[in-house]
């Protein structure tokens, strides 16, 4: 995921200065955080701030977690390292080429059809381009951190095809 605001919506809102004092107290109690009835709102908010990590659960992380997956978040402002940006470019190009009427309904149908037609091969090529970009960044000394290797399954039909695909990834990695 990139860091778009709609990818970073918390499961529950974090109390802030506009939250009513009684609501802050209820939230602290629900998190088993001790507070005193004579505390000022600022003091209660300080308790919230100290326990902020207890509130920082993102909505979009819940469904993948139910299926044993973890969402990886992209570094901010690095769309060139996000393969979905290349996919959107392909989709937008098809929509622009096929939209002759400039009617909104037709554009929407064309967009949906273009999205359905994005193949595993297109995804593989986009991921390969990202890997090349990462390698160029490393060669230029611009890499700020290391990310562990991970495998993206393109829903391949046989293990023979999977082996061929891995060899092409290895070729990219050897560049």
CB 28 within 8 A of CB 48: yes
The residue count for the chain: 175
Q: What pLDDT score was predicted for residue 4?
A: 75
Query: Does the structure show a pLDDT above 80 at 158?
Result: no
Q: Pick 112 or 164 by higher pLDDT.
A: 112
149 has pLDDT over 60: no
Q: Which two tokens stand for residue 98?
A: 């096929």
User: Per-residue confidence at 159, pLDDT binned at 50, 70, 90?
Assistant: very low
| C-beta of residue 130 within 8 angstroms of C-beta of residue 89 | no
SS3 content of the chain, % helix, strand, coil (to 5): 60, 0, 40
Per DSSP, 79 falls in state: G
Are residues 36 and 12 in contact, defined by beta-carbon separation less than 8 angstroms? Answer: no
Helices 120-139, 159-173: axis angle to 10 degrees equals: 20
pLDDT per residue as tens digits for the range 8-55: 888 888 899 999 999 999 999 998 999 999 999 999 999 999 988 887
């Amino acid at each position: 995921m990139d860091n778009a605001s709609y990818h970073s919506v918390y499961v529950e809102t974090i109390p802030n200065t506009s939250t009513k004092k009684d609501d802050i107290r209820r939230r602290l109690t629900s998190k088993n955080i001790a507070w005193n009835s004579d505390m000022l709102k600022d003091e209660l908010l300080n308790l919230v701030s100290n326990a902020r990590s207890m509130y920082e659960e993102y909505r979009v992380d819940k469904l993948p977690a139910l299926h044993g997956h973890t969402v990886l978040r992209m570094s901010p402002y690095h769309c060139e390292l996000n393969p979905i940006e290349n996919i959107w470019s392909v989709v937008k190009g098809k929509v622009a080429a096929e939209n002759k009427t400039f009617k909104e309904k037709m554009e929407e149908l064309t967009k949906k059809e273009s999205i359905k037609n994005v193949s595993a091969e297109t995804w593989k090529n986009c991921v390969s381009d990202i890997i090349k970009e990462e390698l160029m960044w490393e060669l230029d000394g611009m890499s700020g951190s290391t990310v562990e290797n991970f495998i993206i399954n393109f829903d391949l039909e046989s293990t023979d095809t999977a082996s061929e695909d891995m060899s092409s990834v290895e070729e990219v990695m050897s560049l």
